[in-house]
Amino acid sequence: MKRILIVEDQADIRKLIRMTLEFENYEIHEASDGSFGLRMAAAIKPDLMLLDVMMPGELDGLQVCQRIKSDPELKAIKVVLLTARGQQKDREAGTQVGADEYLIKPFSPLQLIETLERMVGATA
């Protein structure tokens, strides 16, 4: 079973993502900010992180992604950045920190599932 970590500061968005993924065969974990998300990633070593870019607190999504991708223990984790910012410069910022994929909010449940299946596959 693939392990997914959702790092999103808005509880309603986390809930929508979780509800979308509950019908798939994923083990789902959640964090409400970047610092907690980074600690959880180190603890559970998910196959994939859904990572909000704009979060309050010590670390935003770009900083978390950069730390994950520069850590030899964590760099294999696939990172999908979630953001309302879809301009080219925003995508480039995500690419520079090592993000594997970019989903622009609002995205459909189908887009989310297709992205995850493409990146980690669904296990039966």
Supply 111's token pair: 């887009």
Residue 71 resides in a domain:
yes
pLDDT > 90? residue 65: yes
Domains: count for the chain:
1
Of residues 123 and 55, more confidently modeled: 55
Residues 73-120: tens digit of each pLDDT: 999 999 999 999 888 899 899 999 999 999 999 999 999 999 999 999
Beta strand ranges found along the chain (DSSP E):
2-7, 26-31, 48-52, 78-83, 101-104
Residue 122 resides in a domain:
no
Residue 95 resides in a domain:
yes
Residue 68 resides in a domain:
yes
CB-based contacts of 3, cutoff 8 Å, min separation 6:
26, 27, 29, 44, 45, 46, 47, 48
- φ, ψ for residue 88 (rounded to 5)? -55, -40
Domain that holds residue 77: 2-115
Q: How many CB atoms lie within 10 A of CB 88?
A: 7
Residue 124 confidence (pLDDT)? 42
Residue 19 resides in a domain:
yes
Residue 122 confidence (pLDDT)? 57
Q: Residue 29 maps to which CATH number?
A: 3.40.50.2300
pLDDT > 90? residue 121: no
Residue 124 resides in a domain:
no
**Average pLDDT in the chain:** 94
